[in-house]
């Protein structure tokens, strides 16, 4: 068995024609009869021919490949968005490459590494899910002059194409919902400080509670760092003992589902004993998960669809002004909140 890649000249030799004819047939050129194109394509498929994308992109200037760079592929929120991005790109005639930085905030250059690898593959554009401190990576993208869009998060001081949910309004919705049920004492399980969604959600949550006259002392806050430490030590129930609150606003659904598990094991009922709200509504795409009251983008809008649209607009109209899409959110009632006992 030879390891040499099948080339156009190999197909031409089998069919008995020129390399140029094979190339035209593989691209369904109208200069050739349809029967000829199909016959050559069948031979190419039988021989295991695979198009050299890089060579083709050098000739055309386009690879029709979009890179998606994300930092947490394990999070169902991101995996569901990426799955939808792939479908949107496919419908628009593009393929997708996924790069995962799989990194912590301390490794800031990892994003640049992934960008460099994506650029080496001659991608036509990049959808980038940034950390809050990824200014260097975004500056690198701007300097490279590659079309790109920031998805799901924003960065301080950066004004470029971006698509995200209105997380501030999400925090406001969570607070208003719990206040409307009559809650007076709250817990907030915070997300990473490097995540712009955490900043916006907590700010909206606190602003509404403050306007309602709730003192900050009645908001029991658990930082992301403390949560991770106690989670590793198996001490979450000690951290979460509901002694001073009756309602929890979790940074995202991943955290909320952890809370549900810990409470169930401890005999604490949701929502009878404690009301719980998450963010992202991941049970919408993972239907075997338990119902959970959650804040997320309205069903009429999609981060994936809008990110692809904004990026393709940038590819086709490189000089247009930056577009910042802030998608409306709503509360999905999963029956995990009720009036305090």
Identify whether 60 is part of a domain. no
Q: Are 43 and 35 in contact (CB under 8 A)?
A: no
Q: Is the pLDDT of residue 54 over 60?
A: no
Identify whether 270 is part of a domain. yes
Q: Is the pLDDT of residue 165 over 70?
A: yes
Domain containing 115: what range? 65-165+300-327
CATH number for position 207: 3.40.50.2300
What is the pLDDT confidence band of residue 225, given thresholds at 50, 70 and 90?
very high
The residues, ordered by sequence, that sit 6+ positions from 306 with a Cβ below 8 Å of its Cβ are: 163, 325, 327
% of the chain with per-residue pLDDT over 70: 93
Task: Kindly state the helix (H) or strand (E) to which residue 95 belongs, with its residue range.
Answer: strand 95-100
Identify whether 185 is part of a domain. yes
Q: Where are the alpha helices (DSSP H) in the chain?
A: 8-15, 19-26, 34-47, 53-60, 76-91, 110-120, 135-144, 167-180, 196-211, 224-232, 236-240, 253-266, 303-316
The residues, ordered by sequence, that sit 6+ positions from 209 with a Cβ below 8 Å of its Cβ are: 175, 179, 186, 219
- For the chain, the distance separating the N- and C-terminal CA atoms, rounded to the nearest angstrom, is 74
What is the pLDDT confidence band of residue 287, given thresholds at 50, 70 and 90?
confident
pLDDT score at 46? 87
Rounded Cα distance, 125 and 241, in Å = 48
Identify whether 233 is part of a domain. yes
% of the chain with per-residue pLDDT over 90: 63
Identify whether 336 is part of a domain. no
DSSP category for residue 123: -
pTM: 0.81
How many domains would you assign to the chain? 3
pLDDT score at 6? 82
Please indicate, yes or no, whether residues 132 and 178 belong to a single structural domain of this protein: no
Q: Is the pLDDT of residue 105 over 70?
A: no
**Total residues found in the chain within this entry:** 341
pLDDT score at 322? 94
């Amino acid at each position: 068995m030879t390891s040499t890649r099948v080339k156009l000249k190999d197909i031409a030799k089998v069919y008995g024609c020129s390399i140029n004819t094979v190339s035209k047939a593989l691209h369904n050129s109208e200069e050739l009869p349809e029967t000829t194109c199909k016959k050559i394509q069948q031979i190419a498929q039988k021989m295991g021919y695979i198009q050299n994308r890089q060579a083709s992109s050098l000739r055309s200037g386009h690879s029709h490949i979009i890179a998606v760079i994300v930092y947490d592929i394990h999070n169902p929120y991101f995996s569901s968005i990426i799955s939808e991005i792939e479908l949107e790109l496919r419908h628009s005639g593009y393929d997708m490459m996924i790069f995962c930085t799989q990194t912590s905030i301390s490794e800031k250059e990892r994003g640049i590494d992934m960008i460099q690898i994506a650029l080496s593959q001659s991608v036509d554009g990049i959808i980038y899910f940034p950390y809050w401190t990824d200014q260097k990576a975004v500056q690198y993208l701007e300097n490279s002059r590659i079309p790109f869009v920031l998805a799901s998060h924003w960065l301080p001081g950066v004004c470029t194409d971006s698509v995200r949910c209105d997380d501030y309004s999400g925090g406001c919705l969570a607070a208003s919902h719990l206040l409307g049920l009559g809650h007076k004492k709250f817990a907030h399980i915070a997300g990473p400080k490097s995540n712009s969604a955490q900043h916006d959600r907590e700010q909206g949550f606190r602003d509404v509670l403050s306007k309602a006259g709730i003192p900050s002392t009645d908001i029991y806050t658990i930082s992301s760092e403390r949560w991770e430490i106690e989670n590793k030590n198996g001490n979450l129930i000690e951290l979460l003992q509901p002694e001073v609150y009756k309602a929890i606003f979790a940074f995202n659904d991943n955290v909320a589902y952890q809370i549900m598990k810990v409470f169930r094991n401890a005999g604490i009922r949701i929502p009878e004993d404690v009301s719980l709200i998450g963010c992202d509504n991941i049970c919408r795409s993972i239907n075997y998960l338990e119902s959970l009251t959650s804040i997320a983008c309205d069903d009429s809008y999609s981060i994936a669809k809008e990110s692809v649209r904004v990026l393709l607009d940038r590819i086709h109209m490189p000089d247009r002004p930056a577009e910042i899409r802030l998608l409306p959110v709503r509360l999905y009632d999963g029956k995990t909140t009720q009036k305090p006992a």
